[in-house]
Amino acid sequence: MAQLVEIAIAPLTRPLHTEFVTALRRTGFVYSIAVRLTDSDGVVGWGEAPQIWRVTGESLASIEACVLGPLADALLGLELDDAAGIAAILDGAVAGNTGARAACEIAAHDLVARRNAQSLAQSLGATVTEVTTDVTMAAATAPGAVDVAPAGFTEVKVKVGLDPDDIDRVIRIHQNSAVPLSIRVDANQAWDVSTATTAVTAWLAAGVDLGFLEQPLPAWDLAGLAELRRRIPTPIVVDESVFSIHDLRRTIDAAAADIVNIKLAKCGGLRPGLAMAELAKSAGLGVMVGSMMESELGVSAAASLAAVIGPEQTHDLDAAWWSIDPATDPEGPYRGPKFRLWAEPGLSVAANRIGADLGAWTARQVLEP
């Protein structure tokens, strides 16, 4: 049986075509760490851990130290014929560091999928070859922010929470659309119950097709979210409130959400994401898969999960779109709102595509006996 013999990391930096602004952050680049596992037969598996100071608290330096330290200690020398148990091993190696753990867990799944000559999505049981995504519209304060949805998308997610004009801006985006437009709104924790109630009431009165309201209140405020749910008819999505399956259970117990946004960098990988989707569905909650600001490597892993837990619905997988121009990149994953799941083994196509954006590799290897 093949053994994990090397774990390596490299910085991954990509410019965005449009600056990304939310109530939590502003960036013109993807800043990630790529993780590569290699087994004793030379088969590799890749994962991506994005720097997300304001959500997971992880930085490029912390991800590097975590992956090459305790996570490498836990992984090197393992015999890997199945990646199902990897998340628990990584969870036992460090507290927090969910993005670093997710990158290693995804890399293990990628490696096993490549050994089995399956795409990552197929290896998880998916049967579809593409998933649908919304596209995010940056907050009104972003340079060049417009009140028109990007062409080709019929579902947008508007970032609010920074600007008193947010309520009117969403109405303008609705009115300016030439096609029926479903609008999702994400306040990234910036509001209180009364601000959120006022906004939703105004949007519904203006005829906005409001898909959902995401994380309107601070992550810790489950009681406030439950109160808001009693006041408005619009579904509430939890994002920053729910990292782990334990957070999800508390959210369900508090009746604080209608839908959970599952992100690999929050929950620690594909298996934890699958388990959370199962719990959410059994409790009557909707599930959506989201991503952080990351490249098509990380988004392909998230889309593979989405293809299993919600093949028919619209997810939140536009992160890589911000660094890819579909018009000049016909081999890329985006065709309007469709994100393509490559049929090649594992995440190999996505890993090849990011090669030019990688810095130098730093590796740890299993000690010789």
Q: Which helix (H) or strand (E) holds 365?
A: strand 362-365
Q: Which two tokens stand for residue 218?
A: 């601070």
Work out the burial of residue 17: count CB atoms within 10 Å of its CB; fewer than 13 is exposed, 13-18 middle, 19 or more buried. Answer: exposed
- CB nearer Mg ion, residue 147 or residue 186: 186
Q: Are 217 and 196 in contact (CB under 8 A)?
A: yes
Residue type, 88: A
Q: Which two tokens stand for residue 134?
A: 């919304």
**Phi and psi at residue 145, to the nearest 5°:** -60, 135
Minimum distance, C-beta of residue 243 to Mg ion, in the bound complex (Å): 13
* Residue 338 annotated to the active site: no
Q: Using CA atoms in the order 45, 30, 187, 252, what is the torsion angle rounded to 10 degrees?
A: 10
- CB nearer Mg ion, residue 155 or residue 214: 214
Binding site for Mg ion (CB under 5 A): 186, 214, 239
Angle at 21 between CA 16 and CA 27, to 5 degrees: 45
Minimum distance, C-beta of residue 55 to Mg ion, in the bound complex (Å): 8
Minimum distance, C-beta of residue 136 to Mg ion, in the bound complex (Å): 9
Q: Which helix (H) or strand (E) holds 103?
A: helix 98-115
Active-site option among 263, 266, 281, 338 = 263
Alpha-carbon gap, residue 70 to 37, rounded angstroms: 15
In this structure, the number of other CB atoms found within 10 A of the CB of residue 217 comes to: 26
- CB nearer Mg ion, residue 55 or residue 63: 55
Minimum distance, C-beta of residue 149 to Mg ion, in the bound complex (Å): 18
Minimum distance, C-beta of residue 322 to Mg ion, in the bound complex (Å): 15
Residue of this chain nearest to Mg ion (CB atom): 239
Helices (H), 264-324: 264-267, 270-282, 296-309
CA proximity to 314, closest of 132, 160, 171, 100: 132
- CB nearer Mg ion, residue 25 or residue 340: 25
- CB nearer Mg ion, residue 159 or residue 364: 159
- CB nearer Mg ion, residue 112 or residue 236: 236
* Residue 263 annotated to the active site: yes
Active-site option among 159, 266, 281, 338 = 159
In the chain, what is the straight-line distance between the N-terminal and C-terminal CA atoms, in Å? 17
- List, by residue number, the catalytic residues: 159, 263
